[in-house]
Amino acid sequence: MSTQAATAAARRSKISPERELELYDAVLDLLREGGYDSVTMEGVASRTKCGKATLYRQWKSKPLLVTAALGRNRCSFFAGIDTGSLAGDLREAARVVGRREGPDTALMEAVGQAYIKHPDLREALRETVLNPEIAALDAMLRRGVERGEVAADNPAIGYVAPMIMGMLRVERLFEDRFHGEGTVLGLLEAVVLPALKIG
């Protein structure tokens, strides 16, 4: 069952929207306190006085419950950006992620290592969190091609989303080189825009 289907099933169940939020809040609190490995269905059930069987019935697995909680509380970085030019779109995307500090960032860092170690979590996160962001970046590039701003056969097109998402993933590892709001903007100006041959 997909993450969206699991979330939809929860909403169709006897769990009220308020109760669903309470369950999600418990998941997020456990993530903040000890990372992904500290989240268990038993722990969520105990913290919320909910039956463990109810959690499994609604979300099927820990990865689906965790990604549903993350998806419910997050805001998309790139959806809705359309400045009328590819360079403008990408620069606005860089500005948006440069201002992203907050609980959403902390939560994504909490699952960062688990993403590598747990394939089931990786698949659920890809569907819920990563694919919408990648789709939004790809849409910017597609519009740029349609407007004639970048050649459709430019080999850099396929690398843009991975470069931007990759920088978001590793920038803390290179905080001696990159820090502050200008990290992704610097990547764009130095690497991405020249590779796309736009200014």
Give the per-residue pLDDT at 49.
93
128, 71 contact by CB (below 8 A) = yes
Report which of 194, 196, 97, 76 is spatially closest to residue 147, judged by C-alpha positions: 196
Give the per-residue pLDDT at 40.
94
Q: In tens digits, what is the pLDDT along the chain, a chain of 199 residues?
A: 455 555 555 444 578 889 999 999 999 999 888 888 889 999 999 999 999 999 999 999 999 999 888 877 666 778 899 999 999 999 999 998 877 655 556 666 677 778 778 888 888 888 877 788 899 999 999 999 999 999 999 999 999 999 998 887 777 677 777 766 688 899 999 999 999 999 7
Per-residue burial over 65-79, b = 16 or more CB atoms within 10 Å of its CB, e = otherwise: bbbbbbbbebeebbe
Instruction: Give the dihedral of Cα atoms 47, 74, 96, 153; nearest 10 deg.
Output: 130
Domain spans, the chain: 3-73, 86-196
Give the per-residue pLDDT at 104.
58
| Residue-wise DSSP of 92-123 | HHHHHHHT--SHHHHHHHHTHHHHHH-HHHHH
3-73 to CATH, choices 1.20.1300.10, 3.40.190.10, 3.40.250.10, 1.10.357.10? 1.10.357.10
How many CA within 13 A on the CB side of residue 11? 9
86, 151 contact by CB (below 8 A) = no
140, 81 contact by CB (below 8 A) = yes
112, 166 contact by CB (below 8 A) = no
Tokens (6 digits) for 8: 């939809």
At 68, the amino acid letter reads A
pTM above 0.75, yes or no: no
Cα–chain center distance at 68:
12
